[in-house]
Structures are given as C-alpha cells and as structure tokens.
Amino acid sequence: MKSDSGIHSSRKMTLISLFLILILTVFALPATSAGAQDEEPEFTKDFRLEDCKFKPRAENPYFILKPGYQLVFEG
C-alpha cells in the first residue's frame, strides 16, 4: 500500500507541474490586439550609427571573431 500511495503522489505532482507549465505558457504569450496585427513595421532609413559601439574583435559562444581563432570539425 505504501508504494501505491507513492505512485498517486507522483502522478499528482506531475499533473500539478503540467498545470503550472500551462498557466505560465498562457501568461507568457504576448498580448496583441487585432488592430496591431494588421499594421506593418515602418521601414527604417536612419540607423543612428553614432549610437553604435562597434569593436574590431568580438566573441560569443557561437561566432568568435578573434584574430587567429580556428574551429576544426572532426567527422
């Protein structure tokens, strides 16, 4: 009987977890009105380059721009 109670407890926790995930997913969706969906974004001609801070070297986990860096794939 004790193991049977553990199964029900596990199932209850799974259902609660799924319910919480569902609730969080619904609240995470962006709230848009019907009129906002019909509008197209405005074309931008001015990119305000004076506000940009370009660097000659950059690094992130997916695209490393560092002098001498090589990524070699093996098959």
The residue with greater pLDDT, 68 or 7, is 68
* Residue 47: predicted pLDDT: 79
* Residue 30: predicted pLDDT: 66
- How far is residue 31's CA from residue 37's CA, in Å, rounded to a whole number? 11
Query: How crowded is residue 56: how many other Cβ atoms within 10 Å of its Cβ?
Result: 6
Question: Is 1's pLDDT higher than 50?
Answer: no
Query: For 57-74, what is the mean pLDDT?
Result: 79
- How far is residue 18's CA from residue 21's CA, in Å, rounded to a whole number? 5
Question: pLDDT digits over 9-63, tens only?
Answer: 888 888 888 888 888 887 777 655 545 566 887 888 887 888 888 777 766 778 7
Cα angle: 17, vertex 22, 27; to 5 degrees: 125
